[in-house]
Structure 1
């Protein structure tokens, strides 16, 4: 799944912003219990719990360094373009 694809989903509130040399994805994971995100190469792996159990989402990132973090159930991924 790409950053663009996740912003087009109806079940996830997400927005993608382009700031010239940086792209930022912000997604509300809802009432996520335990949640984590790791960036491995050009992929962000998000693991979180919701009412359906544990879910894992793998996001393909554009080339460039990326940082990702989750705060209060909000996933933020920053990618340098």
Structure 2
């Protein structure tokens, strides 16, 4: 799933911020349990507890290096410009 794809979904609240040196995307994934996110190359991998099992979602990131973290179900991705 790309970042553009997630911003176009009706069931996920997203907000995009553009700064001189970075672009930040915040997406409320609605995750209520434990969640973690790792960035490998150009992919952000989110792992969280689902209804009955652990689930994983992957997001393709744009070039430029990215940092990602998740707090209270809100995924934040910062991409350097």
Asked if these proteins are the same fold (TM beyond 0.5), I'd say yes
The equivalent residue for 2:10 is 10
Give the TM-score normalised by the residue count of structure 1.
0.84
**Counterparts of 1:19 and 1:3, CA distance in 2:** 17
Q: Which runs of 5 or more residues in structure 1 are unaligned?
A: none
Deviations 1:23-71 (A, max 9, x none): 1110112242010100000110111224464332111111111111111
Aligned length: 81
Alignment of 1:1-80 (within 5 A): 1-51=1-51, 53-80=53-80
Q: Residue 19 of structure 1: CA displacement?
A: 1.9
CA RMSD of aligned residues (A): 1.7
